[in-house]
Chain A
């Protein structure tokens, strides 16, 4: 029997049968996240399916993150419907302001190595960083999981992404992810898993890996999965009391293709409006005027991201006149840590508008919206036209340090120029 990839092994474990790329399997879901962007519809489907009781409420997590704070009677009602349901059936619910659901799944130790964790939101792929098979689903699939605890999946082919070397100063996980999106294209990994490998992995912190897994869906991937190592185990310490069993790929596993990225040779990257795969070396876009800088989201809203941004802002003497800096920590845990170590005060001192933890401006459903004609540089994952709530704005995507460097000059700037 040929060897198996991480995805094949996890889906075999969760379906109780041998699973090979291309097979259709029905799997037990270990944990499913729903947000205020997806649960209200899921509850409608659940009722229509004849749902009376939740199969296993311990496997469900709701997060109010897309409408924070709820600023209309309609969004208040969406939250109330979820709160009522969660209370009635004993589902864990994270209130508005606690953070982005994906970040909370990771922080609360819900994403365990070797498990199957899904979310009714496309960026559920983020948890792949913790060696779980993590993928996005819609509201109807979430409703079915609420009803029976299971879902069907086609076992994906895997693309092996081999990272070698170590990132040079001024280059970050976001640059790896953007470079990969540029190389594979927006559908280059459609229906497939990205499986990260290579000696470069050991140089990446868990927060770095979350960035790579998060962006996997922008290449069409079903999941972006890492092997587990000491870093994974160390992150989970104190976050879970549950036992877990990491899954490694077999040495003779079969891959649809292998892509290698030499981290040493990687320069800062930028995605140009309005597609995530329109990626060029950042120097090609240097000097492009920018009026809004956004630091936040499930891609770039963690403590490490704000530390990197703060260091560049300090080196560059703060935010240039005419630039709006907006900050949204990914969770309350992140914000509290920023408050404790002075990062929050430093950013406020630079004139940042700080928004409650949540999805913020990322998809235009809450937070600060860019004005007509404005160019935004953002630590987020998507730059589609209208993504941030205004189709007349243009969005560039880059690392937190590159966004901060750009803030200091009001034009796209290589972070290595500012920190020198």
Chain B
């Protein structure tokens, strides 16, 4: 996996997909370039404008619960966010993340503060530059790794035409 370095952006527990991007927004457009300006609009109206490419979302438990709508992943990617660290994900968000090449990492995020610089070395470990702490996310099963390594489900299916375990 590609190495990453970015600012931690904290979003809390039980963040549902409607709060990531309101389902009323996807009525008008499915384009991440449009939707990204409404990212977390009801949680923090200033959030979308404050995102810098490379920022990493850091969540508590049950990130992406609720609707399975995939714009909740593509909008995050569209904003330039390449990874989400969470103590846990809803299963539909987790699948959608992998299918679109958004890196979902499960680890204990309690020690991470807003703005901390996080470094993912591409092999598995995450280092917090401020605290010096190193986190070891749960390893991904082979099929999920294969889809992520291909760049998402689109390139994976173009290459394989079917699922291979």
Q: Please give, as numbers and ranges, the residues of chain A lying within 8 Å of B152 by CB-CB distance.
A: 140
Give the residues from 120 to 170 in chain A that come closer than 8 angstroms, CB to CB, to chain B.
120-122, 136-141, 143-144, 147-148, 150-152, 154
Would B30 and A40 count as touching, CB distance under 8 A?
yes
Contact A187–B88 (Cβ < 8 Å): yes
On whether the beta carbons of B27 and A365 are closer than 8 Å, the reply is yes
CA distance A44 to B157 in the complex (A): 14
Chain B residues, Cβ within 8 Å of A24: 141-143, 165
Judge if B161 is at the interface, Cβ distance under 8 Å. yes
A187 contact from B27, B28, B62, B96, Cβ within 8 A? B62
Q: Does A251 contact B (CB under 8 A)?
A: no
Given known contacts A122-B66, A187-B62, A220-B91, is B27 in contact with A49 (CB within 8 Å)? Answer: no
Within the assembled complex, what's the spacing in Å between the Cα atoms of A138 and B100?
A: 11
Contacts A148-B161, A385-B19 known; list 14 others, CB within 8 Å: A40-B30, A44-B30, A48-B158, A50-B157, A74-B29, A121-B67, A136-B68, A186-B14, A187-B14, A187-B61, A190-B91, A220-B62, A222-B91, A389-B24
Q: Residue A386 contacts which of B22, B68, B100 (CB distance < 8 angstroms)?
A: B22
Chain B interface mostly = loop
Tell me whether A363 is interfacial, beta carbon within 8 Å. yes
Instruction: Choose one: B19, B70, B100, B154; the contact of A384 (CB below 8 Å).
Output: B19
B154's partner among A49, A122, A136, A391 (CB-CB below 8 A) is: A49
Interface size on A, residues (CB 8 A): 51
Residue B118 at the A interface, CB < 8 A?
Answer: no
A416 to chain B, nearest CB (A): 31
Verify if A419 is at the interface (C-beta below 8 Å from B): no
Complex formed: what's the CA distance from A25 to B163 in Å?
10
> Counting CB contacts under 8 A, is A374 at the interface?
no
A280 on interface, CB distance cutoff 8 Å: no
24 sample A-B contacts, Cβ–Cβ < 8 Å, listed by A number = A41-B70, A48-B158, A49-B158, A122-B67, A136-B68, A138-B68, A138-B69, A140-B96, A140-B99, A140-B152, A143-B157, A144-B157, A144-B163, A148-B157, A150-B162, A150-B163, A154-B141, A186-B65, A187-B62, A220-B62, A222-B91, A385-B18, A386-B18, A391-B42
